[in-house]
Structure 1
Amino acid sequence: MAESSRLSDVRRIAVLRPNAVGDFVFSLPCLHALKAAYPQARITYIGRQWHADLLTGRPGPIDEVEVIPPTPGVGLPPDAEVDTRRVEDFVARMQARHFDIALQIFGGGHYSNPFVTRFGARLTAGMRAPGAAALDRSVHYGPMQNRRLQMLEVTGLVGAGMVDMGGAPDLRATDADRREADAVLTPVPGRRLAVLQPGSTDRRRCWSPERFAAVGDALSDAGLLVAVNGTDAEAPVVRAVIERMRTPAVDLSGRLSLSGLCGLLDRASLLVSNDTGPLHLGLALGTPAVGIYWLTNLIESGALRQEGHRPALSVQVHCPVCGEENLTSRCAHDESFVDRVGIEHVIGLAMDLLREGKTAGRTARSAT
Structure 2
Amino acid sequence: MTDAVPPGPHAVPPGPSAAPLLLEHPGLVPDVRRIAVLRANALGDFIFAVPALTALRAAYPQAELVLLGAPWHARWLDARAVADRPGPVDRVLVVPAADGIRAATTDDEPTTMAQFVQRARRERFDLAVQLHGGGRNSNPLVTALGARLTAGLRAVDAPPLDRWIRYVYYQPEVFRYLEVAGLLGAAPVTMLPRVPVTETDREEADEVLGPARRPRVVLHPGASDPRRRWPAERFAAVADICVDRGFEVLVTGTGPERAVVEQVAAAATRPVRTVVDALSLGGLAGLLAGSAVLVANDTGPLHLAAAVGTPTVGIYWIGNLLNGAPPLRGRHRPLAAFTIHCPVCGQDVSRVGFPARGGGPSCGHQESFVVDVPVAEVLEAVAELTGADGVHPDRLREQGTDVVGQR
The answer, yes or no, to whether TM exceeds 0.5 is yes
Cα pair 2:96 2:111 within 8 Å, conserved:
no
Tell me the distance in 1 between the aligned counterparts of 2:154 and 2:205: 40
1:62 to 84, 89, 99: 89
- Quick one: which amino acid aligns to residue 126 of structure 2? D
Classify 1:356/1:159 alpha carbon distance in 2 versus 1 (closer, same or farther; 3 Å). Answer: farther
The aligned residue for residue 157 of structure 1 is 183
Pairing 1:1-368 to 2, within 5 Å after superposition: 5-57=27-79, 58-75=85-102, 86-164=112-190, 170-188=194-212, 191-327=214-350, 328=352, 329-355=361-387
The aligned residue for residue 356 of structure 2 is none
**Cα shift readout 1:233-289 (whole Å, capped 9, x = no counterpart):** 211111111122121110102212222211111111110000011101111111110
Tell me the distance in 2 between the aligned counterparts of 1:304 and 1:15: 25
- Quick one: which amino acid aligns to residue 244 of structure 1? A
- Quick one: which amino acid aligns to residue 99 of structure 1? F
Tell me the distance in 2 between the aligned counterparts of 1:83 and 1:343: 44
Cα pair 1:293 1:312 within 8 Å, conserved:
yes
Tell me the distance in 1 between the aligned counterparts of 2:271 and 2:259: 17
- Quick one: which amino acid aligns to residue 333 of structure 1? H
Classify 1:93/1:307 alpha carbon distance in 2 versus 1 (closer, same or farther; 3 Å). Answer: farther
Cα pair 2:331 2:385 within 8 Å, conserved:
yes
Tell me the distance in 1 between the aligned counterparts of 2:198 and 2:102: 29
Cα pair 2:326 2:334 within 8 Å, conserved:
no
The alignment-based identity, stated in percent, is 46
Cα pair 1:294 1:338 within 8 Å, conserved:
yes
Tell me the distance in 2 between the aligned counterparts of 1:197 and 1:84: 33
Structure with more contact order per residue of length (Cα contacts < 8 Å, sep ≥ 6): 1
The aligned residue for residue 361 of structure 1 is none
- Quick one: which amino acid aligns to residue 178 of structure 1? R
- Where does structure 1 differ by over 4 angstroms across 4 or more consecutive aligned residues? 1-4, 82-85
Q: What secondary structure does 2:370 align onto?
A: coil
Tell me the distance in 2 between the aligned counterparts of 1:114 and 1:105: 13
RMSD: 2.3
CA-CA distance at 1:175 after TM superposition? 2.1
CA-CA distance at 1:356 after TM superposition? 8.7
Cα pair 1:3 1:160 within 8 Å, conserved:
no
CA-CA distance at 1:36 after TM superposition? 1.3
Q: What secondary structure does 2:179 align onto?
A: helix
Tell me the distance in 1 between the aligned counterparts of 2:274 and 2:110: 43
**Number of aligned residues:** 350
Classify 1:8/1:227 alpha carbon distance in 2 versus 1 (closer, same or farther; 3 Å). Answer: same
Classify 1:117/1:204 alpha carbon distance in 2 versus 1 (closer, same or farther; 3 Å). Answer: same
Tell me the distance in 2 between the aligned counterparts of 1:140 and 1:209: 38
Cα pair 1:47 1:67 within 8 Å, conserved:
yes
Cα pair 1:98 1:120 within 8 Å, conserved:
yes
Quick check: 98-107 or 320-329, which moved more?
320-329
Q: What secondary structure does 2:379 align onto?
A: helix
Q: What secondary structure does 2:129 align onto?
A: strand
Q: What secondary structure does 1:296 align onto?
A: helix
The aligned residue for residue 358 of structure 2 is none
CA-CA distance at 1:178 after TM superposition? 1.6
| Structure 1 unaligned residues grouped into runs of 5+ | 358-368
The aligned residue for residue 8 of structure 2 is none
Tell me the distance in 2 between the aligned counterparts of 1:306 and 1:9: 41
| Structure 2 unaligned residues grouped into runs of 5+ | 1-22, 80-84, 353-360, 390-407
Classify 1:133/1:83 alpha carbon distance in 2 versus 1 (closer, same or farther; 3 Å). Answer: farther
Cα pair 1:265 1:285 within 8 Å, conserved:
yes
CA-CA distance at 1:207 after TM superposition? 0.6
Classify 1:71/1:245 alpha carbon distance in 2 versus 1 (closer, same or farther; 3 Å). Answer: closer
- Quick one: which amino acid aligns to residue 242 of structure 1? A
CA-CA distance at 1:89 after TM superposition? 2.6
Q: What secondary structure does 1:201 align onto?
A: coil
Q: What secondary structure does 2:380 align onto?
A: helix
Classify 1:356/1:155 alpha carbon distance in 2 versus 1 (closer, same or farther; 3 Å). Answer: farther
